Structure 1
Amino acid sequence: MKYLHIRNARLLDPQQGLDDVLDLYVAEGQIRAIGQKPAGGTIEETLDAQGQWLLPGLVDLSTYLNEPGYLQKGSIQTETRAAASAGFSHVCAQPLTKPVADSPAVIQLIQEKAATAGYARVLPLGALTQGLDGDQLANMVSLRNAGCRALSNARQPVKDSYVLRRLMEYAATYDILLFLSADDRALSASGVMHEGPTATRLGLAGIPETAETIALAQLLLLIEQTGVRAHISQISCARSLEMLADARARGLRVTADVALANLVFTAREVSGFDSRFHVQPPLRGEKDRQALLTAVNRGELAICSNHQPHEISAKKAPFADAAAGMSMYDCFMPLLLELVRKGELHLPAAISALCHQPAAVLGLEHGLVQGHRFSATLIDPQAVGGKILSRGSNLPLDHSELAGRVEATFVDGRMVYRRQPG
């Protein structure tokens, strides 16, 4: 048996209580030993990871790969390569494509292109409704059988509460996981940023917190009534956290995540009409940001990238008309580790929120455990700089001076990304 030997790495896996400098041995896609080399076999390759961290591969619960249909924004090849360079071994691709990912044929196309690209593993999210129009139910069972781990409407509105209830009842019948967004379009439709002092000063239409909390209340009541398994995507405000905690206390099968941007930035970033910070859900106030960080540190929220790459022209329009979204992969790791360095985010909680919690939501076996498939990322927490790999031009900032760089990413024992010098 031939081994990949990773030596002198700081192994970090809070679920296993693992935080130690150890050697790790991989063969045939599996972790064969941690610490001592197994008897027999030869070392085929050795990586010296002195000063670097090895942790389970990050799992992204929301990304937009744009293919098929929107190649000016990115492709499966460019965006999964960027995802791997950010440490993600698995990514959930939203169904906002052209054609929409509402049929087994489109799901198969996405899977084939992802396999050909060979970077991060793509877990397609099937469309919850036909064409994402929010009216007619998609063929949920066919999409699940085609390989969809969950179904999502990609933040597109569902027509009304009657349709939403029927969607949940059908999904509950077949135990299909739903990814749901809390957004009351009657309250948020004309808004482009958080409703507050900055929006008033800039004269921009605001999105109140109640657009999220009223919609979340409706979702939670229907989840309770139908018994469906549900994940709430991209929570943005403190009041929502209280509602989720109450729902869990009453036994509802509901999980949730927050986009990294909402942990890092606030509505004040919009000053100067900077369209890079036009995102959905909107960036909220500092009180909400701190509440979200606290929830992550308590293990109550997963973290997603909500990566949405756009071409230059999509962001050059006036703020209200610019496309919503940030290209996050090329700056994801340094932004995350900056929160850790500031003491706002605890490192074990960050790893759990990006590895174990998302894997549990999706039913994936994940972790640095002997016998498990080896999906992991190797990080140099002190290194600065890195190439821009996403096709998106809408990064939120110049990350070249922030420390934290992914050196390698592995999926099922295969190195799918390795940083090139220079």
Structure 2
Amino acid sequence: MRTVIRNGYVIAPSNDFEGFADVSIVDGVIEMVGDVEGVSIDEEIDATGLVVAPGFVDIHAHLRDPGFTYKETIETGMRAAVKGGFTAICCMPNTNPTIDNIQTVEYIKSKAANVGICDVYPIGTITKGEKGEELTDMMSLKEAGCVAFSDDGRPVMNAEVLRKALIYAEDLNVPLTLHEEDLNISGDGVVNEGKIAFELGLKGIPNVSESSIIARDVEIAKSTNTHLHICHVSTKESIDVLKKAKMDSGRITFEVTPHHLSLTDEEIKDYNTFAKVNPPLRSKEDVKAVHGAFSLGLVDAIATDHAPHDEDSKRCTIQNAAFGISGFETAFAVVNTYLVETGVVSLADAIALMTVKPARIFHLDTGTLNEGSSANIVLIDKNREWVVDRNKFVSKGKNTPYHDKKLKGAIVKTFYKGMIVYSEEV
């Protein structure tokens, strides 16, 4: 069975290819990118006016399953992901039970395989129950299928526990991916510390809560000569720390999220709980610093931190509302609107940061259009403008600060192993 995607503008960052070309798929595998002539073709798909790129890879997402299926299930999360162009997602371990045991890993893998529309890679906890005390059996969890380790949602406050975890992770050749927050500083803060928080009478979370722990953990990683990945970086001070760290060592990587590169704490005016996220939306100066990190080539990946919640978790006081933004279905459009259209990065660089670059950080064999790779592909209309309607989200989590905002860039089709697993409604 040969399917050929014709007339599209192909962007394949893994082999530095960009231009008009055909993409030939045989039995779910990419046969070639180029001019397909003189062979039998079973199906042609016209991609005129569209960008053809590898399916996106998200190394930071929450599927809420097991334990919180009223917020999201593995199936609804996967369907939201492919609608957003993602064909590989790494799910964080703050479920119930947490991903600190083989049975939970097997449960996630089995449910994902039954849905079968994208790859799902579990991330195991660094410590048992994410309590920050006793390390998990990383070797067994890796053998079961975990591709990284994190206590996401919780920092590893005990520096010696983190040091030991880094050493073990290095032996296993898997990354630690860290939520960086000094809980003693952030305390019961709910939004960014600054003018808006003061005006609303809300307890703020200062920038130093993030940057100080990043500085600590960078030093620990240097002392052990291990790879450390930093989640959802949001502050100017953190960027400064990471810029120096990357000059000193090539073993520090970090991600930023679509919401931290596009929105500020102005969104929390009127006590907007849909804009409550951790780390919080920061100041205009911080967003400018994140943009500057792209210009300097410092950013290693864009990750969604997809964090779906039920209505009751958000339709309450901002002090009691859950942290998190549902991000799969708006991710590319936000990146295209706020980074590509404004000239911060090229479209090719943006796609690289959402495909092959995050895949390499976690050693995943995906995110490319290389010959012989799985035909995980997304077709994009980069010029399509649309207005976000949270009520049309596939995710159970309708919690988005982009509702009623106009974005540019739409996902037209998503292929997984050569199958069309999402096609826009026309």
* TM-score using structure 1 length: 0.95
Counterpart CA distance in 2 for 1:314 and 1:352 is: 34
- Written as runs of structure 1 = structure 2, the 5 A alignment for 1:166-315 is 166-301=164-299, 302-315=301-314
User: 1:379 is aligned with what amino acid?
Assistant: I
Is 1:395 aligned to residue 394 of structure 2? no
Asked whether the 8 Å contact 1:8–1:48 carries over to 2, the reply is yes
Q: Structure 2 vs 1, CA of residues 281 and 49 (structure 1 numbering), >3 Å: closer, same or farther? A: same
Separation (CA, whole Å) in 1 of partners of 2:344 and 2:171: 41
Contact 2:157–2:182 (CA under 8 A) maintained in structure 1: no
Quote how far apart the aligned CAs of 1:417 are: 1.9
Aligned to 1:23: 22
Give the C-alpha shift of residue 278 in structure 1. 0.6
Shift of 1:320: 1.4
**Residues 206 and 288 of structure 1: CA distance in aligned 2, closer, same or farther (over 3 Å):** same
Is residue 412 of structure 2 the alignment partner of residue 413 of structure 1? no
Distance in structure 1 (CA, Å) of the matches to 2:372 and 2:296 = 29
Quote the Cα distance in structure 2 between the aligned partners of 1:322 and 1:77.
Answer: 25
- Asked if 2 retains the 8 angstrom alpha-carbon contact of 1:59 and 1:354, the reply is yes
Residue identity in the other structure for 1:293: H
Tell me the distance in 2 between the aligned counterparts of 1:22 and 1:399.
Answer: 36
Q: Deviation string for 1:168-218 (max 9, x for gaps)? A: 222233333111122111001221111111111111111111111110111
**Residues 1-150 of structure 1 aligned to structure 2 (within 5 Å):** 2-37=1-36, 39-40=38-39, 42-150=40-148
Moved more, 316-325 or 156-165: 156-165
C-alpha contact 2:14 2:369 (8 A) present in aligned 1: no
Quote the residue 2:337 is aligned against: 338
CA displacement 1:296-315 (0-9 Å, x = unmatched): 24432111111111111100
Q: In 2, are the aligned partners of 1:133 and 1:157 still within 8 Å (CA)? A: no
Mapped partners of 2:315, 2:362: distance in 1: 37
> Structure 2 CA distance, aligned partners of 1:402 and 1:174?
41
The worse-fitting range, judged by mean Cα deviation, of 273-282 and 379-388 is 379-388
DSSP-derived class of the 1:245 partner: helix
Which has the higher mean CA deviation after the structures are superposed, 227-236 or 245-254? 245-254
Contact 2:236 2:289 in 1 (8 A): yes
CA distance in 2, matches of 1:114, 1:287: 40
Give the SS at the match of 1:37.
coil
1:29-48 Cα distance to aligned partner (Å, 9 max, x none): 222122222654x2222111
Q: Are the counterparts in 1 of residues 14 and 370 from structure 2 also a CA contact under 8 Å?
A: no
Q: Separation in 2 of the partners of 1:213 and 1:248?
A: 15
**Structure 1 stretches of at least 4 aligned residues deviating more than 6 Å after TM superposition:** none
- Secondary structure (helix, strand or coil) at the match of 1:34 reads strand
Structure 1: runs of 5 or more not aligned = none
Structure 1 residues 301-310 or 407-416, which shifts more? 407-416
1:339-381 superposed Cα distances (whole Å, 9 cap, x missing partner): 1223344322211211121011012343223333322211122
Match of 1:347 in 2: 347
RMSD, matched Cα: 1.7
Mapped partners of 1:369, 1:148: distance in 2: 25
1:351 corresponds to which letter in structure 2?
I
Amino acid at match of 1:152: S
Q: Give the superposition deviation at 1:159.
A: 4.4
| Local SS of the residue matching 2:63 | coil
How far off its partner does 1:12 sit?
1.3
Structure 2 unaligned spans of 5+:
none
**How many angstroms apart in 2 are the aligned matches of 1:106 and 1:348?**
37
Q: CA deviation at 1:399?
A: 5.1
Q: 3-state SS of the aligned residue for 1:255? A: strand
Query: How far did 1:135 drift?
Result: 1.0
**Amino acid of the structure 1 residue aligned with 2:318:** F
Identity of aligned pairs, percent?
Answer: 32
Q: Distance between the aligned counterparts of 1:361 and 1:193, measured in 2?
A: 30
Q: Secondary structure at the match of 2:319?
A: helix
Number of aligned positions between the proteins: 419
**Offset at residue 15 of structure 1 (A):** 4.2
Q: In structure 1, what is the Cα distance between the partners aligned to 2:404 and 2:4?
A: 31
Residue of structure 2 equivalent to 1:377 = 378
